[in-house]
Structure formats: structure tokens, C-alpha cells
Structure 1
Amino acid sequence: MDEVDVDGDGQIDIYEFVKMMKKNKSSALETNRMSILAKNVLVAHQKKLEKNIIGEDLWMINPMEVRHAVWDIAMSLLITINVITLPLTLGWEEMNDRFFVMNLTFDFIFILDIVKNFCTGFIDENDAVIMDAKTVRNNYLTGFFLSDVLSSVPLDFVLQAVGVETNESVAGTKRTLKMLRLLKLAKLFRLLRISRMFRYIKIMFVFFEETLHIRISDGFMKLLRLMTGAMFLAHWIGCFNFMLVRFNDFPEDSWVVYAGLQYQSPYTQWSWSFFKALAQMIMIGFETPPFTNASCDAATDWCSVEHWITLACLYLGAVFYSLLISSISSIIQTASLASRQFEEKLIQLDDYMRSKRLPSSLREKVKDYFHLQHADGKLFNEREILDMVTPILRREIQYFNGRGVADKIPMLSSVAHKFFAEELATVIQSTIAFTDEVLMKERTIGDEMYFINSGVVDIYLDDNKQRIYCTIGDGCFFGEVSVLLGIRRTASVKTRTQCILYKVTKENLLNILKDFPETAVDLRRIADIRRRRLAHHLHADDSCVEP
């Protein structure tokens, strides 16, 4: 009592009880000794913690609400658009004028986002929702506040107000003021908040996989991220290249003048700038048209700048190229790893059967079983995989894999045996039996019990005539007489059709039944009735059977 009653008040409250149960949780789960009541108390307490909200400021926005998610997605899309248009406004004055109203609107929306963040709760490291206004303010001020403010200043409006966009300044002052446009790069701090979009993209992929059954491989996503990053980088490098040429008033020995692009439309100029950057990044710049690489052949100031830019692009390209090759190699090596293991095991199995000179009919039967047992053409070491996760996760995976037993067996689908079915689902094993396969032999010791998921089996008496006692199918079970009553098998069982079965060992079944005495009584009653009915069938004059 003293060990459990931590606060010494002579009573055990819910937190002391939960602490005690969690302390012995591992051993209790292993032996299935924890009572259903104790498990329900722990589950209810965990749900309470998951819904725990600290703070009661009514005007605060809960981060778990749908409207918050919609706002985050909208903000992420605006950040993406801003990252695309920002280098265009730096490189082309026409683009800057065209996007002026849009950028000013975006800046206003980002200022509203700052205000909203002061009014939005957050989830702490313990998964509790913090809704206390003072705590929320302190958390935001010490977090993303500074970067959000720097990226939300309406620089377009400020620069236009000081005359950067006009042509009234002298040449030197005009160039200096134009360089002030580089202050717009502060808007890149918004990228720190783009992680919100990745979280919702992940949720979307989970929805596609579980609801629409469309699986997007990790290798494909890795390659897609790499290519998207390369496109963004080439876009920025191309715009930056053109911006430097324009800021220097189109030098005669620049690649833009060499190609005659200074009088072309902004779209044409951007297209060649993007092509130049992309060609240099993938290290084929010197095999492309001359104006896409360093065309300078004199020791001028501009040529020095252009050579350094080209060198930087080539180094970035080398890094990207190596990442691309390594990613593709990794994808090829890990793609369909389970399928390749399946093929290797199948070849190994075929070589074994040929070396043992098994008859062709038996070899084909074994191959058919192998294909049926692994219908999706993939082979996994399930025991090794389950050993890699925690006991709680292992239990959840096993329950999900075996949940079909409760749906198919009428007895287990009843409310009275619901919790027993959940426990049983964690220990059963799925197996396949071919037509005319003997599953049990009469007068042998029974170590397993079977539930029929699909198929038909014959229960017969192992005498000279092999008389069929009865035939059962989907939703039925057999083998419980020997397992539960501790006697030898009273009959033999053979499959009439191909069957998919759920198998549970005697040890696992008896351990689970210790926690479900009512279910144990029902199963033993059914087993005893079946035993006496079979005895009555064999010796009608000497045995009686319960009606």
C-alpha cells in the first residue's frame, strides 16, 4: 500500500493507479494476466491525456481545428507562390510591376498570420494542447516571431516610396537603390514555415494509401523531392544570373548581349536564363550553345564576375549530379526489395526440390502454396520485423492482421466475446490448406485449434470406411475438444476444398482464456457437447447427448 500510495493520503487516486499498472505493464501484457477492467481504465486515462487541453482562453484557436489546418495549407501555398515569383521580381522590372499588387496583398496576409499566431494554441512535447494566452505568446515570441516579421515587411511598397522604381535618380544612386531590392531576400525566411505543408502532404499520402489503396513508394517521393529542388534551384540561379547582367546595364561581353536577349520579351529572357542554369547544373554547359556558358574571352571586370558565377554553378551542379546518381542507385537497390526476396526464395525452393528429386506434382503443389501464402508476390520476415517495434506496436500490428477472425466467426462477433476476440486476434496465425489435405488425425494429441475463414472441411472417423461425420465451412471452428478437454483427438479432419484457416496454439489459447472465464466456460461446454454427440453417434445405445 505504501509503495502505491505516493502522496500518503490513505487513498489510491487514478494517477497512482495508472502509475502502478504501467510499472507492471510489460509483464502483464506478456502473460495476459491484466484484467479487462484494468485495461479499460488505462485506455480511458490515455484518451483523457490525448484530449488534455491546458488553458481556457475562449478566444484562442485550437490547433487541432479544421479551420486552422485550412489556414496553414493556404499559407503554405502562398509561400510557394512567393518563392517562385520573388526571383522574377528581382530580375525583371516588368515582373516587379506586374506582381506589385499581388506581393502587397501577400505581405498583408502574412501580417494577419502573425496576429493569428498570437491567438493560436500549440501542441507541446507531451502532446498536450496549450491554450493559455500568456504561454502561447511566450512560445511564439521565442520561436518564429522574428523570422515572420522580417519576411512580412512590405518592401515593395517601401522601395517604391523611396524612389527605387523611378528613373529620376542619377546613374550611381539609381544602381545603389536598385541593389536595395535584394532586401526582398528576407522573404525567404518564410520557408521556415513551409514545414506545415509537408505535414499535410504526408496526411494526404496516408489517405491515398489507406482509402484509395494507391501506394506511393518512398523511392519515388525521394526522387520527386530531389527533382523539385533542382528545378527551384535552377529557377533561382537563372534569375540571379540575369539580374546581375541587368544591374550592370548589360555589358557588351555578357552572355545576354552575346545572345541578343536584351531586347527580347521577359518570358524569352527567363527561358534562356533557366536553360543556362540547368545546363550548367547538370555539367553539360560547355557542350550547349556558347551563350549558355561563359562566353567572355577578355580580362574585363564583367568577365571575372561571369566566370565566378559559372564556376559556382558547376560546383552546385556537381553536388546535385552526385545526389541524383546516388538517389537513383538507392531507389533501384531498394525498389521492390520484398519482391526480389520472394523470387530468390522461390528459386532456392525450386533448387531444393529438384536436388531431392521430388515428384513434379509435389513440386507444383509446394509452389502453389508458396504463391498463395504470399499472394502479393512479396516475402517478409514477419518475426524479425515485429521484433523491431515496441511491444505495444507489435500488439496493434498483430491485432490488425488477425482482426478477420472476429468478423468471420459468429461466436466471436457477439458482444459477449468481443474482448476475447481482440485478444485472440493478436496470437492467431493465418494458413492455407489445399484440397484433400489432412489437418488432424484421430487419437493424436491436439496442440492446435482452427477457425475457418473460407473453405469446406470434412470431419470423419478414422476407421476402415473413413465415414464422414459432418461437413463444416466458413465461420466454423474445430480442434477445440482435444485442446480444451485435455483428451486425444476424437476424429480426423480433411479439407474438401482449398481453405484459408486461422490457427491458434493450445498454449496461447489457454493463456487468453484465463482472463475470460465466461468465454472459457462457453467453449468448454461446446467442446463437451460435441464430444458426447460424437460418442452418441458411435455408440447410440450407450451414450446420451444434450439436446
Structure 2
Amino acid sequence: MTPIGKSLHSNRVAPSKVPHQPTLTRPSDRAFQGKQSDSPEMLVTAAPTESEAKDFESDNEVIDSTGQTLQKFSLLGTPFRKKDSDDGTFAMKPSFIQKRLWTMLEPNANKLSLKLFGSNRGILKEKKRLKAAGLFIIHPCSSFRFYWDLVMVLLLMANLVILPVVISFFRNEGLSTGWVIFNCCSDTFFILDVVFNFRTGITDQKTAEQVILEPKTIAIHYLKTWFLIDTVSAIPFDYVFLLVDDDGDPNLVNISHALGILRLFKLLSLLRLLRLSRLVRFIRQWEQVFTVASAFMKIFKLIFVMLLISHWNGCLQFLVPMLQEFPQHSWVRINGLINAPWFHQYSWALFKAMSHMLCIGYGRFPPQSLTDLWLTMVSMISGATCFALFIGHATNLIQSLDSSSRQYPRRFVTQVEEYMAYRKLPKPMREAVLDYYEHRYNGKMFDEEIIYGEVSEKLREDIANYNCRELVASVPFFSEADSTFVARVVSLLKFELYQPGDIIIKEGTFGDRMFFIQQGIVDIITVDGIIATSLSDGSFFGEICLLTSERRVATVQSETYCSLYSLSVENFQMILNEYPAMRKTMEEIALRRLTNIGRSSSLLRSKILGHGDKAKLMFALPAGSSICLPKEDIQKKEKEVSNSESKESDEVIAVTRNSYATVTCDETAPI
């Protein structure tokens, strides 16, 4: 029994079944329920009955269960350390460093993990699966693997650039302290990378789990793929050879240089070139995690590969003559570069290599020896290959960057021209149609309805709000409406394009939609053909058709190319059915507008007749008001004509025959 259990049982004595034997019990036992006494003698009673003994045994079972539960916890509520079954020692809790290390091995919440597992809950489930997989399994989406890959890529790029330069242009510095330290650190990291690859999960989207965490499966997969190349590239063969050959040979420097050549062979044939695929994979993961533009990464990779090949070719141009001890007709001896500083040697070698690769010449001199001749041919072949790859990648990149512009002439222009030729349309009409498409799509090809149909409803609302929210807010009866109602209105707006001279609204017709001007200028033309005013970006017109069923009282014509958004009466009524409260509000607004504005075609502060002008028309005012300003005293006398009945007076007859004053209207009527 545990110490806690003993302490609990020590407060009680099991009841004896021998008759008349005194027993010590608690005041809370059933034998003393209902009794209130503080006397110690009350704690000693006669032998309990059979039912009391059963109750006592039941209480003992509860105490045992409680003791076993409390045994698992310390006084602070933390779990006790369990004893080892063999030696009785306690297992230590994981330290802070161990917890941090385990956290680094778990999948991190980045775009790559969210793409694989869908949500934070899926990532949490993957963490639990990782813990059950075994000891020291590195998840490919973990922070540790990300930063380790970043270090390996930087180290790989340093080897790709520095190692050929040292081997080609530094003959006697192969055993310098700095170079030895760099090689040791580099080889150590590559050896550790081999070890970590045996314990890193494999991303496989064909499986249900997306990531394989089985250690045996990981090891078999790595042995079949990159193990041999990584192992051979990580072993420092040159230093192993130096340790074996330690008999003090005076030609140790030459041996070291020969091993440097072996190291270059290892770079070109095994490790460095083949591990470039890992660099590409890491860059793809980098794009997903940091949302780097794909076009930028394509350009970066293309330029990097071209410069790297030029760098290797330049080192090769100097390495081959150096291995031959600079023969008499080598380009190095001809140019007097044998004892020149290494940077001068590298610069001339790079110039010679790029001249061959770009097919612009042979450098300062054509090849004078058979070796230089073969090197020149190798450079030309590599340059032609790189040039072809560059042209292909650049063409593909340009096409991918502006795919909509490429599809526009092929799909729209070609089809439209064939259609117009089939219908035998006249040339001016053909030019107008092509001009419409050019301004409608700006030389791009896309189907906005398909794009809208594929994105989520939230994204559709966000796009519509970004394009049209300010336009809708400019309408008075929309600016005071509920935000959800306005958002619904915005989502049903339709884009329209009009060319200069197009009639958007015809006077006398029934309106079926209102318009918002995103870009362009429109003219409001009265019945007599006068341009009353012009509207531009951010304005609206034709809104009265949404509230009443009146005819249009003016004509609206586009002056320039106009990008408009329209809201149809049908869609507006559908929205009002969804928002009954807004329907009542809109009906009140319509009634107020008809009361204040009426159905006149007059305009704000517009001159109707001037003093002395000969009248040709009879003006009727079924609603609204006009002001007559007499000639003799404009400041003192104003007369308002409120309705058509007042025009039966002599003054009205004078207006219709020979006007005596300037008449203006102080109300704005709907269009």
C-alpha cells in the first residue's frame, strides 16, 4: 500500500465481526448520522450491524481508489516520475533543451504544411503522428529542416564558386590553414546531412498521410536515390590520403595538388552538380513558404546557371594549361600571365571562355596548340547549348508572363475578324467592333464570369467592393443604407463599355437600369438637343428607374470611352425582396423625390428664356417651380410660377409671344 493509502487507512480501524467488540469509527459513519455530540466517548460504540459493516467496507474501497489516484500526482499537481521496473530508478523528465529540440523537429505552421494538411488542426494531428513514429524523426515541414536546408544551400553555392578557383589558380595553397578549415567544415556538414536524410520524412502526396514517417521506409528510399552520391561527395578523400602517406615525402605539395584535382573531379562529376536538384527543390519550397513571385525565381535561376557555367568554363581554361606546366604555345604563356596575380589570371580566363561561349571571337589570340583547340571547341559547344537553353527559357518566360496578351489576338481578334467577314460587315463597322474589343479588354484575354464563378463568395464580394464600393456610396439613397444591403447591390453590378457617341439612355424610353461612371465623360442632352451638363468619374445617372416606372426625360450620350457599372431594375427588386425593411425605406425615398422634384425636364439654374428673346415654345410646369426676374428691378421683385394654371395669365401669354424677363428653374429633375 502506498504511503498516502496508509495515511488514509490509519485514521480508521476495520470493523470486527466478533460480537460486542468495541470499534473506533468516524463521526460521519452511518451509526452516528443525526447525532450532534462533541464528547470523545461517543466515538466508541458497540459492534456495528451487518449493514453498517457493508457500508464501512464500501468506504474503504473509495479510500483505496482515491489513494491510487493521488499516488500519481505530487503536491503541486504534476505527475510523479515513474520507477523503472528493473532497477527501481526514476526516469527523468525531458529538459528545456530537449523540449525545444522536439519543437524544432515538429511540422511548423507555414504555407507548405498548410498545403499538405489543410489547417492548423491537421498540423496538430501530424504532430501527434510524428511523436508516435519514433525517436528523432525530422519532419520535412519543420523549422529545423528548413534552416538546415538553407545552410546547406549557402554552403553548396560557396563550394560551387570557391572550389574551382582555389584548385585552378592556387597551386601551392592547397594545405593552407584557412582552406583546410573550410574543407573540414564543409565535409562535416555534408556528412551530417547524410545522417539527417536517414531520419527525415518523405513528402509523398500520393499517400493518405502526405508525409512518410516510417524509419525503415525512409532509409530504403534514401538508399535507392541519393545515398551513394551524397556519401561519396561527403568523404574527404584528399585528407584521408594525406594521413596515410605521412612518410615525409618532399613532393607532398604536388601530391596535395593532385588531390585537389581529384576534388575538382568530385565536384564536377558527383556532388556539386547532382546536388543542384536539391537546390531547385529548396527554392520551390521557398516560393511556397515566402510567396516569392515565380517569374522572379525563374529569372534568378536562369541567370545563376548561366553565370555558374561561365565561371566553371573560365576555371577550366586556366586549369588545363596549368596541369601541363604551361607549354610554350599555351594562351597563358603567350599573354604573360604565368606569374600574374590570380585575379588577373581569372579575369583573362573568364574573358576567353565567354568569348567562345558567345561566339564573338577567340579572345586575344586564336588557339595555338592542340589543347587550346579542344578547349575552344568545348567552350563553343557549351556556349551554344547554353544559348539555346537561354532562348528557350526566355521565350517560355515571356509567354508565361503575359499569357493573356498572347491569347487575345488568337482568340478574340481572329474569331471576330472571321465572323465579320462571314457577315460581310462594312469596313467602318469592323473598325468599330475591333476598337470596342481593344478598349474592353485592353489587349488582354480573360473571362471575368468564369473567374468570378471559380473564386469563393467572399472573394467575389471583396473584388466587387474594391471596384465599385465608392461608386455606390455616391448615391444618396445607397449611402444611408445598411452595409450588407449595399454589399449585395455591389455584387450584382455589371460592367459595360461605351464608345464615343454611343447613346446610353434615350429620352422617352422606360428605364431598366441605372449607371455608375467608373471612367469617362457623358453628356446630359435635353429635349431640344442642348447639352445641359456633363458627368465624369464617380458620378451616376438614371437612378429614378429603380424607384419609379417613369419614362426617361433626357438623353445621355458618351463623350469619351466610358467604363460604366449598371444595376438593373430586376436585380434591384430581387435585393429588395431579400431585405423587406429596405423596400419600405426605398418607397419613402421615391415618394419624397417625386414630391420634391416632380417629373419635369428642367435643370438646376438653367436659363429658359432671355429678356427680349422671341418665344417659340409653350412651357408647362406640372411640378417644380420657376422664377421670373423682371428687367426693371431684378433685386427687388421676384415672381414664382408654381404650376401650369398660373400660365393662363397675361404674363404667361407674354412669355409665349415675346418674353419680357429671364426665366430660370431652381429644381433638379431626374433623368
Instruction: Go from structure 1 to structure 2 and tell me whether the alpha carbon gap of 1:236 and 1:414 turns closer, same or farther (over 3 Å shift).
Output: farther
Q: Does 1:241 align with 2:323?
A: no
CA distance in 2, matches of 1:201, 1:95: 37
Q: Does 1:444 align with 2:494?
A: no
CA distance in 1, matches of 2:197, 2:490: 43
Partner residue in 2 for 1:6: none
Counterpart code for 2:330 = S
Counterpart code for 2:383 = G
Query: Which structure ranks higher in relative contact order (CA pairs < 8 Å, sequence separation ≥ 6)?
Result: 1
Distance apart, 1:440 and its partner CA: 3.3
Q: Does 1:269 align with 2:345?
A: yes
Instruction: Go from structure 1 to structure 2 and tell me whether the alpha carbon gap of 1:202 and 1:178 turns closer, same or farther (over 3 Å shift).
Output: closer
Distance apart, 1:194 and its partner CA: 1.0
Distance apart, 1:279 and its partner CA: 1.8
Equivalent residues of 1:50, 1:128 under 8 A apart? no
Partner residue in 2 for 1:502: 565
Task: Trace 1:79-158 onto structure 2 (pairs within 5 A).
Answer: 79-91=156-168, 92-94=170-172, 96=174, 97=176, 98-117=178-197, 123-125=203-205, 130=210, 133-134=213-214, 138=218, 141=222, 144-155=226-237, 157-158=239-240
CA deviation profile, 1:154-187 (whole Å, cap 9, x unmatched): 4454354345998645999888756533234432
Distance apart, 1:392 and its partner CA: 1.5
CA deviation profile, 1:46-85 (whole Å, cap 9, x unmatched): 9983553363225766655667555444432322222111
Equivalent residues of 1:481, 1:528 under 8 A apart? no
Distance apart, 1:494 and its partner CA: 5.2
CA distance in 1, matches of 2:271, 2:512: 69
Instruction: Go from structure 1 to structure 2 and tell me whether the alpha carbon gap of 1:258 and 1:540 turns closer, same or farther (over 3 Å shift).
Output: closer
Instruction: Go from structure 1 to structure 2 and tell me whether the alpha carbon gap of 1:262 and 1:109 turns closer, same or farther (over 3 Å shift).
Output: same
Task: Trace 1:250-289 onto structure 2 (pairs within 5 A).
Answer: 250-286=326-362, 288-289=363-364
Partner residue in 2 for 1:379: 443
CA distance in 1, matches of 2:582, 2:182: 72
Give the SS at the match of 1:382.
Answer: coil
Partner residue in 1 for 2:279: 194
CA deviation profile, 1:469-505 (whole Å, cap 9, x unmatched): x9999988765664688x4646557599998642245
CA deviation profile, 1:134-169 (whole Å, cap 9, x unmatched): 279628625555544444334454354345998645
Distance apart, 1:249 and its partner CA: 3.5
CA distance in 2, matches of 1:479, 1:145: 74
Task: Trace 1:398-547 onto structure 2 (pairs within 5 A).
Answer: 402-405=464-467, 407-408=469-470, 409-410=472-473, 416-417=484-485, 420=488, 423-424=491-492, 428-429=494-495, 439-441=504-506, 443-451=508-516, 479=542, 482=545, 487=549, 489=551, 492=554, 501-504=564-567, 509=571, 513=574, 518-519=578-579, 521=580, 524-525=583-584, 527-536=586-595, 537-538=597-598
Instruction: Go from structure 1 to structure 2 and tell me whether the alpha carbon gap of 1:68 and 1:335 turns closer, same or farther (over 3 Å shift).
Output: closer
Task: Kindly tell me the number of residue pairs found equivalent between the two proteins.
Answer: 446
User: Which of the numbers 357, 366, 373 marks the counterpart of 1:307?
Assistant: 373
Equivalent residues of 1:405, 1:421 under 8 A apart? no
Give the SS at the match of 2:565.
Answer: strand
| TM score, norm. by length of structure 1 | 0.59
Give the SS at the match of 1:99.
Answer: helix
Equivalent residues of 2:310, 2:353 under 8 A apart? yes
Counterpart code for 2:262 = L
Counterpart code for 1:125 = Q
Equivalent residues of 1:457, 1:471 under 8 A apart? yes
Equivalent residues of 2:520, 2:537 under 8 A apart? yes
User: Which of the numbers 338, 343, 368 marks the counterpart of 1:295?
Assistant: 368
Counterpart code for 2:166 = T
Partner residue in 1 for 2:153: 76
Partner residue in 1 for 2:601: none
Larger helix proportion of the pair = 1
Give the SS at the match of 2:339.
Answer: coil
Instruction: Go from structure 1 to structure 2 and tell me whether the alpha carbon gap of 1:491 and 1:276 turns closer, same or farther (over 3 Å shift).
Output: same
Counterpart code for 2:321 = V
* Runs of 5+ unmatched residues, structure 1: 1-44, 210-215, 297-302, 349-354, 358-362, 542-547
User: Which of the numbers 263, 266, 274 marks the counterpart of 1:183?
Assistant: 266
Instruction: Go from structure 1 to structure 2 and tell me whether the alpha carbon gap of 1:463 and 1:257 turns closer, same or farther (over 3 Å shift).
Output: closer
Equivalent residues of 2:517, 2:564 under 8 A apart? yes
| Superposed CA RMSD | 5.8
Instruction: Go from structure 1 to structure 2 and tell me whether the alpha carbon gap of 1:418 and 1:85 turns closer, same or farther (over 3 Å shift).
Output: farther
Give the SS at the match of 2:118.
Answer: helix
Instruction: Go from structure 1 to structure 2 and tell me whether the alpha carbon gap of 1:71 and 1:249 turns closer, same or farther (over 3 Å shift).
Output: same
CA deviation profile, 1:303-337 (whole Å, cap 9, x unmatched): 3x443332222222333345556777889999989
CA distance in 2, matches of 1:158, 1:180: 13
Instruction: Go from structure 1 to structure 2 and tell me whether the alpha carbon gap of 1:333 and 1:473 turns closer, same or farther (over 3 Å shift).
Output: closer
CA distance in 1, matches of 2:396, 2:511: 49
Of stretches 492-501 and 252-261 in structure 1, the one that deviates more from structure 2 is 492-501
Distance apart, 1:115 and its partner CA: 4.7
CA distance in 2, matches of 1:163, 1:517: 94
Give the SS at the match of 2:359.
Answer: coil
CA distance in 2, matches of 1:177, 1:170: 10
CA distance in 1, matches of 2:534, 2:582: 20
Give the SS at the match of 1:403.
Answer: helix
Equivalent residues of 1:280, 1:313 under 8 A apart? yes
Counterpart code for 1:49 = G
Give the SS at the match of 2:275.
Answer: helix
Instruction: Go from structure 1 to structure 2 and tell me whether the alpha carbon gap of 1:494 and 1:506 turns closer, same or farther (over 3 Å shift).
Output: same
CA distance in 2, matches of 1:282, 1:46: 43
Equivalent residues of 1:450, 1:477 under 8 A apart? yes
Equivalent residues of 1:449, 1:478 under 8 A apart? yes
Equivalent residues of 2:521, 2:536 under 8 A apart? yes
CA distance in 2, matches of 1:146, 1:439: 74
Distance apart, 1:236 and its partner CA: 0.9
Equivalent residues of 1:164, 1:174 under 8 A apart? no
Larger radius of gyration: 2
Equivalent residues of 1:433, 1:495 under 8 A apart? no
CA distance in 2, matches of 1:244, 1:150: 25
Counterpart code for 1:191 = L
Identity, % of aligned pairs? Answer: 24
CA distance in 2, matches of 1:236, 1:496: 64
